[in-house]
Amino acid sequence: MNHLELKIELEKRCNLYQNPDFILNDPIQIPQKFSKKEDIEISAFLTSVIAWGIRKSIINNANKLMGLMDNSPFDFIKNASEKEIEKINLFKHRTFNGDDCRYFIKSLRNIYLNHKGLENVFTSKFNDTNSIAESLIYFRSVFFELEHPRRVEKHLSDINKNSAAKRLNMFLRWMIRGNENGVDFGIWKGIPTSALYIPLDVHVGNVARNLGLLTIKDNNWKAVLELTENLKKFDKNDPIKYDFALFGYGVNNK
């Protein structure tokens, strides 16, 4: 396909997969249960953290985690006692266990008490650097500023180690892209959609390579940069909308 034909095909796939029906089988349905901004972003972040493996398992476990937080994640983050936080020990998703989850809860509390919340951590750094990459690096440093077991660090991607940071980029897509199609939320206004990076996983990478949009063989940060730049050639203002086309096609046409 030439450039125009490929753009038409990608736009068609976007329209096919970027709709509320998509939510029925996607982890984004978890934050869709909430209406308060802080509940949305906290539930979205925690859901994105465990978003690897079978989607049904991700959704089931994310629902369990929300239940352990009394289905009021912001209130739980702010006000839960040590005894109440201990019940998080019951949680497990693959290698993400209760110890990991308890630290994530305590770190989120620190972020809301001392850094003005998740949105401010990302947007304040973006305002200084005009770079989502720098925001990702800064966020990770803030997230692990409390004393913590070293094993917890593996559950938050580090682009300094060439990680694709798929789950963090997916979380940012959810928060920043507009919700005209009833999927993403668009509740963070301080970062433009044009600055986002593609959430790169196996499905997206395979389809992108088949279409000639990605030449790097490994799904790493360099591949994220290459694919995002190529998608900007089709829509410089909203290149990440093509995540729906690439991911949707990859999942439904294995």
pLDDT per position as a tens digit, 140-193: 999 999 999 999 999 999 999 999 999 999 999 999 999 888 899 999 999 999
pLDDT beyond 90 at 23: no
pTM above 0.85, yes or no: yes
CA distance 185 to 172: 10
CA distance 215 to 203: 15
How many residues are recorded in the chain? 254
Q: Where are the alpha helices (DSSP H) in 69-193?
A: 73-79, 82-86, 98-114, 118-129, 132-143, 166-176
Question: Both tokens of residue 105?
Answer: 């809860």
Q: pLDDT class for 252, splitting at 50, 70, 90?
A: low
- The whole-chain average pLDDT of the chain stands at 95
Question: Both tokens of residue 110?
Answer: 């620190």
CA distance 223 to 202: 12
Domain ranges of the chain: 3-252
pLDDT tens digit sequence for 94-151? 999 999 999 999 999 999 999 999 999 999 999 999 999 999 999 999 999 999 999 9
Buried b (16+ CB within 10 A) or exposed e, 214-226: bebeebbbebbbb
pLDDT value of residue 248: 86
**Tokens 């790493």 map to which residue?**
220
With the C-alpha atoms ordered 22, 203, 163, 191, is the resulting torsion angle positive or negative? negative
Look at residues 128, 133, 193 and name the one whose alpha carbon lies nearest to residue 162: 133
